[in-house]
Amino acid sequence: MRRPELLLGLLLIAIGCTPTIPENKLPVLGRTELVERIENGQVFYDTVQHKVKNFAFLNQDSVIVTNQTFVDKVYVADFFFTTCPTICPKMKQQMLRIYGEYEANPEVAILSHTIDPKHDTVAVLRDYAARLGVSSDKWHFVTGDKDDIYEISESSYMVTAAEDANEPGGYIHSGAFLLVDKERRIRGVYDGTVPEQVDLLIKDIDRLLKETQG
């Protein structure tokens, strides 16, 4: 399984569509849309920023996880599968760093989507989380309908997740960690296999928390 080289292009698109922001704030990534609004007979157009769409998946404790699970939280999302023979072990080691850094902070959570729901059942995900030694109230490993997972990866998180018989393990997915703010907006994309990128992510989580408090 190779790591797709589409993140740079998406970032360039996202930055190009993002309004000028104060230097101390993280950008809002993704395409903006113009939504028509009629008020007192006049037509106005509001700029709507890209947001993670509504979702409902099942976590390792058989609990339904939705957008409401992350109200008043920032979270880091990624895509993986438990039998992944290539980048996933590196990603999980780096995500464990984030877990350890914010384990006691109720404003930060982690959301990992399996892209192999046929194999990665709730029981498999529960065992996987137990072997990592992590708590489900902080780090959600979720499964669900395959098409729903693949669709949200591309439409909401702007990364690749798909079956590919030519790849080791039979799947292809991004190694990206996505930083999502309390308004469901993507605020950063980081290579989850590179420690220096995760160092930056941790700094940006702190920046985002200060932003939401300010």
pLDDT confidence of residue 59: 98
Q: How far is CA 136 from CA 28, 116, 132, 162, in A?
A: 28, 20, 11, 25
18 vs 201 pLDDT, higher one: 201
- pLDDT over 50 at 180, yes or no: yes
- The helix (run of H) or strand (run of E) holding residue 80 is strand 74-80
Q: Where are the domains of the chain?
A: 51-213
Find residue 176's DSSP bridge partners: 191
- What is the pTM assigned to this prediction? 0.84
Q: Backbone dihedral region of 19: left (phi > 0), alpha (psi from -120 to 50 degrees) or beta?
A: beta
> What pLDDT, in 10s, does the model give residues 66-116?
999 999 999 999 999 999 999 999 999 999 999 999 999 999 999 999 999
Q: Report the CATH number of the 51-213 domain.
A: 3.40.30.10
